[in-house]
């Protein structure tokens, strides 16, 4: 809801990101994206991965430590 009403696909992706990175990390990532006015889920996922010290892999493959 940070950037408007999400559609079903966005809700599923947000839930997946919450499961992958944790809700607290996801909330922090959304907050950082909001500061820059960016609502792109891919950008939010990259921020969350960076916060957790992981590499971002959009294909759903397992992330690995840098």
CB atoms within 10 A of CB 4: 8
Does 66 have pLDDT greater than 70? Answer: no
- Domain count within the chain: 1
- Can you give the pTM of this predicted structure? 0.72
Q: Which domain holds residue 10?
A: 1-66
Q: What is the largest CA-CA distance in the chain?
A: 34
pLDDT tens-digit readout, 41-57: 999 999 999 998 876 66
């Amino acid at each position: 809801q940070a950037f408007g009403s999400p559609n079903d696909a966005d809700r599923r992706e947000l839930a997946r990101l919450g499961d992958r990175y944790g809700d607290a990390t996801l909330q922090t990532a959304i907050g950082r994206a909001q500061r820059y006015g960016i609502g792109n889920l891919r950008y939010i996922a990259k921020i969350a991965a960076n916060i957790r010290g992981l590499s971002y892999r959009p294909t759903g493959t397992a992330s690995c430590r840098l």
